[in-house]
Amino acid sequence: MNSKNITVKTYSYGKQTIDEDDINAVVDALKSDWMTQGPAIQKFEKALNEKFGSKFASVAANGTACLHLIALGLGWKKNDIVITSPITFLASANCAIYAGADVDFADIDPLSYTIDPNKLEDKLKFYASQNKNVKAVVAVDYAGHPCNWNALKNLKEKYNFQLVNDYCHAPGAEYNNDIQYAAKYADAVNLSFHPVKHITTGEGGAVLTNDETLDKKIKMFRTHGMTKDETILEKNDGPWYYEMHDVGFNYRITDLQCALGISQLSKLDKFVARRREIAKYYDAIFSTNNSFIHPHISENVKHAYHLYPLQIKFDRLKISKKELFAKLKAQRILGQVHYIPVHLQPFYRKKFGFKPGDFPVSEKFYEQEISIPMYPTLTNEDLEYITAAIIETVEKAK
Ligand SMILES: Cc1ncc(COP(=O)(O)O)c(C=O)c1O
């Protein structure tokens, strides 16, 4: 065989699963009259509402844009305080900065890796003692493990803040046997359809909510602050007429992307089932070796495994995380780390004075965590190869 024809697999931490149905759905959309602002938008929104049990959905350009829309829709502004987890993607915190608000963090729970309600309450009490009100909490269902939503909802009632679920990692997860938990607990829920996520539209995202007023605002901010809603127009010159009531953005998503999203969404359950099989395989291997801590799952939770965050006890090994990354890369396994604690980013250190030691559980987690390959198209042979490579590399470093 010509050596040029041999493709050698590499294993990233995540990637999309695209089949012929997806390709046909996009081709059909391309052949239709609508490339953007057409019927696929509402069709995708309806499908998302049906799947996740929300009353309203707004699809948009990406998950970050969705968080920005939530910040605008919930009315965050200068001097408001928004609290999130340090173990998240930058966007969960940055959305508050976009709106002019201040960001603070509450450390994670060492088992679920999601925001710790006790640490959050400490922060809420601290701000209350300063006569300051926390406007909102952005809780992140990190890796696909739902937060302790019962505790968060109790805190919301006690301290009166807005609750956002950054749900980018968790579509398909269950909380108290409910796959539709997200919009029941949070005022607003955001998704991302980036290719590493459970379902993809290339770039894309959505906001889910049960609050009609918020939904209207989000749809208005998504398209330049324009409205054609007759109930709020100051006048109506005719069918072409629109008014701009606030400064919005062009955060629209195309019909081509939504056609792909509808097709992808129909396969979410299958994707999540395979992710759970992969996690079961990994758990069985890594639980028998004391150099590893595999993800823990709370009792009332079914994990959706956007990520498989494996912790490695580097302090007991003769190898650093950097060296392990290089050794795995040489074996075509491209790990990633989720995440560098956001409070340690130069921007957040300079703007708010955060420093190492502020959120010790998150910082320890960052030292130990690596995200190993997790996506539905991994075969059992791939899993054997990946686990053997990781175990052997770590065993040699003992
Ligand atoms: C937790 C979390 N929030 C927000 C985002 C932002 O989504 P997007 O990349 O679609 O802008 C991501 C995506 O990486 C994410 O993982």
Type of residue found at 193? F
| CB distance 16 to ligand 1 below 6 Å | no
| CB distance 88 to ligand 1 below 6 Å | yes
pLDDT, tens digit, 9 for 90 and up, residues 166-184: 999 999 999 999 999 999 9
Distance 151 CA to ligand 1 centre (A): 24
- HEC letters along 241-304: CCEECCCCCECCCEHHHHHHHHHHHCCHHHHHHHHHHHHHHHHHHHCCCCCEECCCCCCCEECC
Question: What confidence score (pLDDT) does residue 154 get?
Answer: 98
Distance 168 CA to ligand 1 centre (A): 6
Arithmetic mean of pLDDT, 199-210: 98
Distance CA(76)–CA(187), nearest Å, equals: 14
| CB distance 373 to ligand 1 below 6 Å | no
| CB distance 200 to ligand 1 below 6 Å | no
| CB distance 354 to ligand 1 below 6 Å | no
| CB distance 205 to ligand 1 below 6 Å | yes
Question: Which domains are assigned to the chain?
Answer: 20-265 (3.40.640.10), 268-396 (3.90.1150.10)
Distance 204 CA to ligand 1 centre (A): 10
Distance 225 CA to ligand 1 centre (A): 23
Distance 334 CA to ligand 1 centre (A): 20
| CB distance 94 to ligand 1 below 6 Å | no
Indicate whether 133 pLDDT > 70. yes
- Mutate which of 94, 115, 194 for ligand 1? The one with the most ligand atoms within 8 Å of its CB, which is 194
Indicate whether 3 pLDDT > 60. no
Contacts of 223-229 with C-beta under 8 Å, sequence gap 24+, read 223/248, 223/250, 223/251, 223/252, 224/248, 224/249, 224/250
Indicate whether 5 pLDDT > 70. no
Q: What angle do CA 261, 386, 113 make, to 5 degrees?
A: 65
Buried/exposed code over 347-384 (b: 16+ C-beta within 10 A; e: otherwise): ebeeeeebeeebbebbbebbebbbbbbbbbebeeebbe
Arithmetic mean of pLDDT, 66-91: 98
Task: Count the Cβ atoms, other than its own, within 10 Å of residue 111.
Answer: 13
Q: For residue 339, give the nearest of 363, 358, 320 by alpha carbon.
A: 363
Distance CA(261)–CA(256), nearest Å, equals: 9
pLDDT band at 264 (very low <50, low <70, confident <90, very high): very high
Task: Count the Cβ atoms, other than its own, within 10 Å of residue 102.
Answer: 18
